[in-house]
């Protein structure tokens, strides 16, 4: 039994979600290999080889793999899939684009968004926006799995000494081409990797107020900034800050929700946070049902006061 983890990387470094996926792969019980598919990706392969618990790194390099196009990456996985009992990718935008293609071509059912490995063929995954946990068993010869990062601790990024083996790169599928990438420049921690998140909701009332009120608190705490969908839809915060069922799933050490009611779709994205602080002027707001610390207050007073006292 050997599991293959599809690494998410930028040709230089390995993204954190890969480390959580390695932990899930190790829990499946066999050896764990990591596929680094890219171009000029030797540094990323070396980083993957350092991950504790990884037995081998497969490095596939070629122009078709440079920009992570899902069609080509799926073809690369399929080229080596026969060697593996499990194929795992992080349940990120990239992993969710690749894994279903691999599962379909192998004619197996994909097992999505797992949060626990019960045994080599049985897994837990949240359903109904996290309100129930389904235990699913697969009899397929190859288990194709996406892994919810918040369900697994990150494997140690150092301590391993896996061998790096080269694999022939696939040719371009010709089905898609890379046009460009606009990367948001942000000095803050990435939302899904942040230890502290401060999130604002519709109550902020405008983009200006959102920045004016939330940014000083985030700065004081060295936190990432999140938002409810209502705040995003109203244009108070950019789309990539959305936390929830249709946004990012997060589980930081500390989550501060200001002016967020706590709709189930929002809770689905943050209720596994270790400590939840809610600030809301409505004492009946559902966010208080998951909060460890609740402050019934006007956020326009409470948030600046918190920031000033920190």
- Site of interaction with ligand FAD (CB under 6 A): 201-203, 228-231, 242-247, 259-261, 263, 265-266, 269, 279-282, 285, 298-300
Nearer to ligand FAD, 61 or 113 (CB): 113
State in angstroms the smallest separation of the CB of 279 from ligand FAD: 6
To the question of whether residue 166 is assigned a binding role by annotation, the answer is no
Return all residues near 280 (Cβ < 8 A) that are at least 6 apart: 203, 257, 258, 259, 260, 261, 262, 287, 288, 294, 295, 296, 297, 299
To the question of whether residue 9 is assigned a binding role by annotation, the answer is no
To the question of whether residue 259 is assigned a binding role by annotation, the answer is yes
Nearer to ligand FAD, 169 or 203 (CB): 203
Nearer to ligand FAD, 56 or 209 (CB): 209
State in angstroms the smallest separation of the CB of 165 from ligand FAD: 40
From residue 216, how far is each of 195, 258, 307 by CA, in Å? 17, 13, 6
CA end-to-end span of the chain: 51
Return all residues near 99 (Cβ < 8 A) that are at least 6 apart: 6, 87, 89, 110, 112, 144, 145, 146
State in angstroms the smallest separation of the CB of 18 from ligand FAD: 24
Nearer to ligand FAD, 6 or 278 (CB): 278
To the question of whether residue 243 is assigned a binding role by annotation, the answer is yes
To the question of whether residue 242 is assigned a binding role by annotation, the answer is yes
What is the residue whose two structure tokens read 């705040």? 231
Element (H, E) at 232: helix 229-233
The pair of three-digit structure tokens given for residue 228, joined into one six-digit string: 């409810």
To the question of whether residue 200 is assigned a binding role by annotation, the answer is no
From residue 272, how far is each of 27, 254, 275, 292 by CA, in Å? 21, 10, 9, 12
State in angstroms the smallest separation of the CB of 151 from ligand FAD: 18
Nearer to ligand FAD, 7 or 287 (CB): 287
From residue 139, how far is each of 85, 87, 150 by CA, in Å? 11, 14, 26
Does residue 5 contact residue 51 with C-beta atoms inside 8 Å? no
Residue nearest to ligand FAD (CB): 244
State in angstroms the smallest separation of the CB of 268 from ligand FAD: 7
To the question of whether residue 253 is assigned a binding role by annotation, the answer is no
Nearer to ligand FAD, 34 or 276 (CB): 276
State in angstroms the smallest separation of the CB of 285 from ligand FAD: 4
State the number of CA atoms in the 13 A half-sphere of 294 facing the CB: 16
To the question of whether residue 148 is assigned a binding role by annotation, the answer is no
Does residue 275 contact residue 196 with C-beta atoms inside 8 Å? no
Q: How far is it between the farthest Cα atoms of the chain? A: 61
Q: What residues are designated binding site for FAD?
A: 202, 228-229, 242-246, 259-266, 280
Annotated binding site: 202, 228-229, 242-246, 259-266, 280
């Amino acid at each position: 039994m050997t599991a293959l983890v599809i690494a998410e990387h930028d040709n230089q470094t390995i993204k954190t979600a890969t480390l959580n996926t390695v932990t899930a792969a190790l829990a499946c019980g066999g050896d764990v290999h990591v596929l680094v598919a890219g171009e000029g990706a030797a540094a990323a392969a070396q980083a993957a080889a350092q991950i504790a618990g990884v037995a081998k790194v497969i490095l596939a390099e070629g122009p078709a793999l440079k920009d992570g196009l899902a069609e080509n990456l799926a073809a690369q996985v399929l080229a080596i899939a026969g060697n593996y009992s499990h194929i795992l990718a992080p349940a990120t935008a990239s992993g969710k684009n690749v894994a279903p293609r691999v599962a379909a071509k192998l004619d197996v059912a994909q097992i999505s968004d797992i949060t626990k490995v019960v045994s080599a063929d049985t897994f837990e995954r949240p359903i109904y926006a996290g309100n129930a946990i389904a235990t699913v068993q697969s009899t397929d010869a190859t288990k194709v799995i996406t892994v919810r990062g918040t369900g697994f601790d990150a494997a140690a990024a150092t301590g391993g000494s896996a061998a790096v083996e080269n694999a022939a790169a696939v040719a371009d599928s010709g089905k898609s081409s890379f046009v460009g990438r606009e990367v948001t420049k942000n000095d803050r921690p990435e939302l899904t990797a942040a230890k502290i998140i401060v999130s604002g909701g519709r109550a902020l009332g405008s983009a200006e107020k959102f920045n004016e009120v939330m940014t000083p608190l985030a700065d004081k705490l060295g936190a990432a900034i999140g938002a409810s969908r209502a705040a995003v839809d109203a244009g108070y915060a950019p789309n990539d800050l959305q936390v929830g069922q249709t946004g990012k799933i997060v589980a930081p050490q500390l989550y501060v929700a200001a002016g967020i009611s706590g709709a189930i779709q929002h809770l689905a994205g943050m209720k596994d946070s270790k400590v939840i602080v809610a600030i809301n002027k409505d004492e009946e707001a559902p966010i208080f049902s998951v909060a460890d610390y609740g402050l019934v207050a006007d956020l326009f007073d409470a948030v600046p006061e918190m920031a000033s006292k920190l």
